[in-house]
Amino acid sequence: MEEILQILASDARVTAEEIAKMTGKPVAEIKKAIKKYESSGVIVQYKTLINHDLVRESNSFVRALIEVSVTPQKDVGFDHVAERIYSFPEVVSCYLVSGTYDLLLIVEGDNIQKVSNFIAAKLSPMENVRRTATHFLLKKYKEDGHVLKQKEKSKRPNISY
Confidence of residue 143 (pLDDT cuts 50, 70, 90): confident
Residues of the chain with CATH 3.30.70.920: 60-138
34-60: average pLDDT:
80
CATH architecture assigned to 60-138: 2-Layer Sandwich (3.30)
Q: Please report the pLDDT score of residue 88 as a whole number.
A: 97
Q: Which helix (H) or strand (E) covers residue 27, if one does?
A: helix 27-40
**Residue 74 Cα to chain centre, angstroms:** 29
Label residue 84 by pLDDT band (50, 70, 90). very high
Beta carbons of 118 and 131 less than 8 angstroms apart: no
Mean pLDDT of 5-21: 91
Q: What is the pLDDT of residues 96-139, one digit of tens each?
A: 999 999 999 999 999 999 999 999 999 999 999 999 999 999 88
